Structure 1
Amino acid sequence: MQEPVTRLYKLGVQIAFNLAIIVLVLGMFVGVWRVLANLGHTLTAVDTAEAFQTLITDALTLLVVIELVRTFVDYFEWERVRIHVLLDAGAIFLLRELIIKLYTSGYAGQEVVWWSAGILLLMLARTLAVRWSPPAHCESEAGGG
């Protein structure tokens, strides 16, 4: 009884992740198109500061989407979620927010220190996760093999 339910669960997870990857890849193409379209807008814009802000925001958002796609693809490759890949995505997201706020002069001095400390902690956690990752035999067993 348990084996058919487990197979059904694994099939459901595979379908959900495949759909998520398709949506994220489409979003990635839309993001690339937006960056290219905004590049043209930047060249012809009257307000260049706003045009550059839009271009930077779209390009950094595209990096976050790329990291999310990488996380999903990595799940299929290893059949588990690897913490350092999630920490990469989190760090990219925090860097995106920090850069956008700095570009728009939206942060005071102490806020920048706190955001930088958060990014530093994520990168320290990522380094520790890579340094003490599970042995190769545990990785193959974690995948249900």
Structure 2
Amino acid sequence: MKTIFDRMTDVVFGFILFFIVIAIFIGVIQLFFSVGKLLSFEGITGYYIDFISDVLTIYVLVELSRSLTEYFKSHKLRLTFIIDAAIVFTIRELLIGLFKHELKPDMLYAFTAFILVLGLLRIGSILVYQKEKEMIHNDNAAD
């Protein structure tokens, strides 16, 4: 039997997922309409940085929604999906800063170190997930 906490968590995550899905749909529609700006021929870069930024933002929302849908399947938040979203968001900020020539060397080093730590966390979370899956498989085989 589900506790009140579990039910409330399901409701809250359901609302969050609902709003993320709405945000993804709105973002995709806005992205579709912004394609026309790319044809305005305002320099070589034009509106591409905004377009790329919007695409990566939508990708972050998709990764977060994947994390929440996985919660409804297993009632656990998978760290890999959350880390994927953080990596994409960090790379998004890095690309925008580099493209606009606003990044100083110390910030570039900080971004690099942060992405390295996120990558190591992702590898660690995959290894832990594989171990958990292996333990569950061994427990089921023993029964």
Fold match, TM over 0.5?
A: yes
Stretches of structure 2 that go unaligned for 5 or more consecutive residues are 137-143
Match of 2:115 among 115, 119, 143: 119
1:97 corresponds to 2:97: no
One-letter amino acid of the structure 2 residue matched with residue 71 of structure 1 = S
Counterparts of 1:34-113 in structure 2, within 5 Å, are 34-44=30-40, 46=42, 49-113=45-109
Match of 2:8 among 12, 15, 19: 12
**CA–CA distance in 2 between the matches of 1:20 and 1:122?**
24
One-letter amino acid of the structure 2 residue matched with residue 129 of structure 1 = S
How far the C-alpha of 1:110 sits from its partner, in A, is 3.3
**CA–CA distance in 1 between the matches of 2:50 and 2:79?**
31
**CA–CA distance in 2 between the matches of 1:91 and 1:40?**
29
How far the C-alpha of 1:119 sits from its partner, in A, is 0.4
One-letter amino acid of the structure 2 residue matched with residue 123 of structure 1 = G
How far the C-alpha of 1:48 sits from its partner, in A, is 5.9
1:28 corresponds to 2:18: no
Stretches of structure 1 that go unaligned for 5 or more consecutive residues are 139-145
Post-superposition Cα deviations, 1:56-103, rounded to whole Å, max 9, x if no partner, equal 211111111111111111111221112222211111111111111111
Q: TM-score normalised to the size of structure 1?
A: 0.81
Number of paired residues? Answer: 135
How far the C-alpha of 1:120 sits from its partner, in A, is 1.2
**SS of equivalent residue, structure 1 residue 49:** coil
